[in-house]
Amino acid sequence: MTIDTPPNRSRLRLLNLLWIAPVAVFVDLDAILVAKIARCGVFGCSGPLAIRSPGEVVVAIVAAGLVTGALLGFVPWHRNRWVRIVVAVLGAAASWAFVALQYAT
């Protein structure tokens, strides 16, 4: 006869990172796609269908950083709230840099 013990809460918290990371990457990839389409249209930067919309590009880059920061800040993957806030700010900055660099190329 064995007694079932409840799972370790710190281990469950860390499991949240297993879904946070892929969601943040998919949000960033989506923002890159939106930024590139807003920059040059679907068929490329030349031709009559080239759409140049810098406002949509800025919105896509800012939205990617905000969503990544919110995922890292609000999901309880760490016990200490300040650690989550610092990592959320760093994650948002990294997301902005990643999307902006991919947009520039």
Please tell me the pTM assigned to this model: 0.73
- The verdict on residue 3 lying in a domain is no
- The verdict on residue 94 lying in a domain is yes
- Predicted confidence at residue 93, as pLDDT, reads 92
Who contacts 63 (Cβ-Cβ below 8 Å, separation ≥6)?
31
- Predicted confidence at residue 77, as pLDDT, reads 84
Q: Domain count of the chain?
A: 1
How many whole angstroms separate alpha carbon 82 and alpha carbon 47? 50
- Predicted confidence at residue 86, as pLDDT, reads 94
- The verdict on residue 46 lying in a domain is yes
Mean pLDDT of 10-39: 82
Sorting pLDDT into bands at 50, 70 and 90, what band is 82?
Answer: very high
Mean pLDDT of 13-33: 84
Q: Is the pLDDT of residue 61 over 90?
A: no
- The verdict on residue 53 lying in a domain is yes
- The verdict on residue 1 lying in a domain is no
- The domain containing residue 25 runs over which residues? 9-104
